[in-house]
Amino acid sequence: MRSTLAAGLLIAASLSTAAAAGEIGRIKSVAGAAQVVRGAAVTPAAPGQLLQASDVLRTGPDGRLGITFVDNSRFAVGPNSSIALSTFEFDDTTHAGRSLTTVNRGSLAIVSGQIAHENKDTMRVRTPTSVLAARGTRFVVVVP
């Protein structure tokens, strides 16, 4: 079980840069300074903006973001944050999928969605010292 999990984490890490292009969610609300980093391109965050796997969300001292994902999960991003949407795979038909979100810095509130609901420990959040798995729920992660 443990080695399976470790292998899963490795796969998640290795796929994070090769995730398929395509809409995984969108920005619903923006307050203060916030950007979306996609590869070398940095754009100011705007309501309605589409997000892809591997995008990085950044907020300034007064920045906040509200985000919805295609599996019905939702994020609220607080100020001074840097959060990468490292992996996001979701099958509309079967509701199977997996996601890995990396909180490098800042605060993130999460309401989990169909990915977490369908299969155990498939919605993950990585911090500099830990990996978290949502087991169906609403939680906050703070990385100072």
Partner 1 sequence: MTRRIGLALCLALGACATAKVGLLPGEGGAPAGAVAVFDPASGAERGQLNQPDTETSLGGGPVRPRPLTGAYDALLAAMPAPAQVFTLYFIEGTTQLSPESVPTLDALRHAITSTSDVQITGHTDTTGDAATNDRLSLDRATQVREVLVADGLPVSNARVTGRGSRELRVQTGPGVSEPANRRVEVIVR
Q: Judged by CB under 8 A, does residue 36 bind partner 1?
A: no
Burial of 53 (C-beta count, 10 Å sphere; 0-12/13-18/19+): buried
The count of other CB atoms within 10 Å of the CB of residue 32 is: 13
Residue number, 39 or 144, with CB nearest to partner 1: 144
**Of residues 48-77, those binding partner 1 (CB under 8 A):** 48, 64-68, 70, 72, 74-77
Residue number, 9 or 37, with CB nearest to partner 1: 9
Copy the structure tokens of residue 16: 């994070």
Residue 78 and residue 32 in contact, taking contact as beta carbons nearer than 8 Å = no
Residue 97 and residue 24 in contact, taking contact as beta carbons nearer than 8 Å = no
User: Minimal distance in Å, beta carbon 132 to partner 1?
Assistant: 6
User: Minimal distance in Å, beta carbon 22 to partner 1?
Assistant: 11
Binding residue for partner 1 (CB under 8 A) from 18, 40, 61, 92? 92
**Of residues 102-141, those binding partner 1 (CB under 8 A):** 107, 109, 111-112, 121, 125-141
Binding residue for partner 1 (CB under 8 A) from 25, 45, 58, 86? 25
Residue number, 2 or 40, with CB nearest to partner 1: 2
Residue number, 33 or 66, with CB nearest to partner 1: 66
> What span, in angstroms and rounded, lies between the C-alpha atoms of 74 and 5?
25
> What span, in angstroms and rounded, lies between the C-alpha atoms of 21 and 133?
24
Residue number, 17 or 29, with CB nearest to partner 1: 29
> What span, in angstroms and rounded, lies between the C-alpha atoms of 4 and 69?
27
